[in-house]
């Protein structure tokens, strides 16, 4: 800081004002549709309202996810009147090694910033979301072209003064906002912005765009970022995030370290299945979801029952998270060991040809399952209203023992990299979280009730009409029976849940469930 003296004309005494040596430089990298421009406008407006000198510029990104649009903001946190006629020199372009706050709306963009030298250990606070939106080069690779996210996270901690990393996409979804408001909250929570929280919230209100949702996203980002920085000394370079994105070996070590012996086989099987189904991060989510159930089991006599609750919850959760979709079916039908197994079952000789033809009948729901929600929801809504959900199913005879059929199925199997942006992924995860919340509430009543609610996960299976009916039945039992009971004073809930579940499993027409629910709800 440098200082200048000004004269107070009323008292004729000098007033000493601290002048920053350099502006606060902020580089923001955001993908299309994430509101990076609005985020920049919020930052600039807040700085102007506090009387600071501020300048911003942007560089458009390339199409098809080959790069983000970047926004560069410089804030000189002193009013022009305090400079005694002098003005700071600002620049239009970010310079490597000269960034105070680096903001990335997606993890690979943080990696690009590190690679380009914009993040330095002595200066830069890195604020980035850990979720992934796969780049074109990753999706176009012949094999698994995904970037190793663990390397990016490790580099973020090593190369930055402070790394504030968490899944801001998930936070935005939970708060009903867009990720830009969560990013702004994280910037404020980091303590590096010169503007006050009240000013930042004020510019969101003045913008008039989804105000309440954006304020919720801002608050969530602020709380998470400030919590990550509150216990770290500001005098040292620091890392504020421990990621749950672990390697398969680290996940196995976590299970062995944190789970009781009787549950190890089932939990390890769940981890292995979900790594195979999606990736290690998805298996880590499985463990994160299972941990509270394990904690309850350990604290409430689980050892006496062989940790039955943990085992059954792990079985149900792993099976549900590895739900069947067109990607999963294609993967299973093109496993390297499938054709040799079929030849062995047929007792075919080495010189005997074996032709494998798979009969498939995908429909609108199956195709919509891997589409983004904003495309899939209107299509499914239209088909539901017009009773056409099952009208577009068409039969396919795919020769998976041939080059063309096998290649087509392998292409579908490789789409698991985009599964997370699909409509069905979002709907499955939402119902899983709803079920888990009821499991926790039921366990707080007693172990038996908890086990009955855990067993309700059996209702969801398959795809098409089977999956539709099972999900609907579970949602009905949760919404009409379990959730109202947990919110009030439940009596005999375990028995009621058992009756409703067994009725749903007994009759595909749902007539028996209708009768059972009518009886239970009137009691």
Task: Tell me how far apart the alpha carbons of residues 272 and 416 are, in angstroms, rounded to a whole number.
Answer: 16
Position 257 pLDDT exceeds 90 = yes
Which of 67-71, 184-188, 430-434 comes out lowest in average pLDDT? Answer: 67-71
Read off the pLDDT of residues 220-242 as tens digits, 9 standing for 90 and up.
999 999 886 543 333 333 333 33
pLDDT exceeds cutoff 70 at 31: yes
Round to whole Å and give the CA distance between 43 and 66. Answer: 26
- pLDDT value for 56: 93
More confident residue, 180 or 367: 180
- Alpha carbon 188 to its chain centroid, in Å, reads 22
- Coil, strand or helix: which one is 431? helix
Q: According to the model, what pLDDT value does residue 433 have?
A: 95
pLDDT band at 381 (very low <50, low <70, confident <90, very high): confident
The pLDDT value given to residue 522: 67
Please say whether the beta carbons of 68 and 106 come within 8 A: yes
What's the pLDDT at 309? 96
* Predicted local distance difference test score (pLDDT) of residue 246: 62
| CA 244 centroid distance within chain | 12
185 or 365, which is more confident? 185
The predicted structure's pLDDT at residue 14:
43
pLDDT tens by residue, 69-108: 899 999 999 887 788 778 888 888 899 989 999 999 999 9
| pLDDT beyond 90 at 45 | yes
Position 298 pLDDT exceeds 90: yes
Q: How far apart are CA 314 and CA 308, in angstroms?
A: 10
Average pLDDT of the residues of the chain: 85
Residue range 40-49: average pLDDT? Answer: 95
pLDDT tens digits along 274-285: 999 999 999 999
Spell out the domains of the chain, with CATH numbers in brackets.
Answer: 2-229 (3.40.920.10), 251-322+425-522 (no CATH), 326-419 (no CATH)
Q: What are phi and psi of 75, to 5 degrees?
A: -120, 120
pLDDT tens-digit readout, 443-494: 999 999 999 999 999 998 877 778 888 899 999 999 999 999 998 877 789 9
Residue 445 and residue 493 in contact, taking contact as beta carbons nearer than 8 Å? yes
Q: Under a CB-based contact definition with an 8 Å cutoff, are residues 422 and 281 in contact?
A: no
pLDDT tens for each residue of 139-174: 654 345 678 888 899 999 999 999 999 999 989 988
In angstroms, the CA 406 to CA 421 distance is 25
Model pLDDT for residues 103-145, shown as the tens digit of each residue? 999 999 999 999 999 999 999 999 999 998 888 777 654 345 6
Question: Binning pLDDT at 50, 70 and 90, where does residue 390 land?
Answer: confident
Residue 17 pLDDT:
53
Cβ neighbour number for residue 154 with a 10 Å cutoff: 14
**pLDDT confidence of residue 447:** 92
Residue 54, token pair as written in the block: 């501020």
Query: Cβ contacts of residue 313 below 8 Å, gap of 6+?
Result: 290, 293, 439, 454
Asked whether the beta carbons of 215 and 205 are under 8 A apart, the reply is yes
According to DSSP, the β-strands at 125-129 and 162-166 are parallel
Q: Which residues pair with 162 in a beta bridge?
A: 125
Contact in structure between 400 and 358 (CB atoms under 8 Å)? yes
Environment class of 64 (CB within 10 Å of its CB; exposed 0-12, middle 13-18, buried 19+): exposed
Q: Distance between CA 488 and CA 104 in Å, rounded?
A: 44
């Amino acid at each position: 800081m440098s200082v200048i003296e000004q004269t107070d004309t009323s008292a004729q005494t000098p007033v000493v004002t601290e002048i920053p040596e350099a502006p606060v430089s902020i580089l923001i990298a955001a993908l299309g549709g994430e509101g990076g421009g609005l985020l920049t406008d919020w930052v600039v407006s807040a700085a102007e309202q506090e009387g600071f000198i501020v300048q911003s510029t942007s560089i458009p990104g390339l199409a098809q996810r080959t790069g983000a649009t970047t926004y560069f903001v410089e804030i000189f946190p002193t009013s022009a009147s305090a400079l005694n006629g002098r003005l700071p020199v600002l620049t239009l372009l970010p310079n490597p090694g000269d960034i105070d706050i680096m903001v990335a709306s997606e993890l690979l963009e943080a990696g690009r910033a590190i690679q380009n030298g914009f993040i330095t250990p002595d200066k830069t606070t890195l604020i980035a979301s850990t979720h992934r939106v796969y780049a074109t080069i990753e999706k176009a690779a012949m094999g698994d072209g995904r970037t190793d996210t663990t390397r990016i996270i490790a580099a973020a901690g090593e190369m930055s003064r402070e790394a504030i990393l968490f899944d801001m996409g998930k936070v935005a979804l939970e708060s009903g906002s867009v990720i830009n408001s969560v990013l702004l909250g994280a910037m404020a929570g980091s303590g590096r912005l010169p503007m006050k929280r009240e000013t930042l919230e004020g510019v969101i209100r003045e913008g008039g765009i989804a105000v309440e949702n954006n304020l919720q996203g801002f608050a969530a980002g602020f709380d998470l970022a400030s919590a990550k920085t509150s216990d770290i000394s500001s005098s040292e370079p620091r890392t504020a995030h421990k990621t749950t994105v672990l390697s398969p070996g680290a996940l196995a070590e976590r299970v062995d370290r944190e789970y009781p012996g009787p549950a190890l086989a089932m939990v390890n099987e769940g981890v292995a299945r979900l790594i195979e189904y999606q990736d290690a991060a998805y298996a880590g989510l499985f463990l994160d979801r299972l941990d509270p159930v394990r904690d309850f089991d350990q604290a409430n006599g689980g050892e006496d029952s062989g940790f039955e609750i943990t085992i059954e919850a792990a079985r149900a959760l792993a099976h549900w998270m590895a739900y069947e979709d067109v990607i999963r079916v294609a993967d299973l039908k093109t496993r390297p060991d499938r054709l040799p197994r079929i030849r062995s079952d047929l007792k075919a000789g080495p010189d005997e040809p074996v032709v494998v033809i798979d009969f498939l009948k995908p429909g609108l729901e199956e195709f919509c399952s891997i589409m983004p929600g904003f495309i899939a929801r209107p299509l499914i809504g239209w088909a539901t209203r017009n009773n056409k959900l099952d009208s577009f199913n068409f039969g396919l005879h795919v020769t998976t023992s041939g080059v063309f059929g096998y290649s087509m199925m392998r292409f579908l199997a490789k789409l698991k990299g985009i599964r997370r942006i699909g409509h069905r992924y979002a709907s499955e995860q939402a119902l899983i979280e709803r079920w888990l919340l009821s499991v926790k509430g039921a366990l707080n009543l007693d172990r038996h009730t908890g086990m009955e609610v855990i067993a309700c996960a059996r209702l969801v299976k398959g795809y098409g009409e089977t999956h539709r009916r099972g999900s609907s039945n579970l949602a009905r039992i949760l919404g009409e029976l379990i959730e109202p009971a947990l919110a009030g004073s439940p009596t005999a809930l375990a028995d009621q849940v058992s009756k409703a579940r067994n009725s749903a499993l007994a009759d595909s027409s749902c007539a028996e469930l209708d009768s059972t629910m009518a009886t239970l709800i009137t009691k």
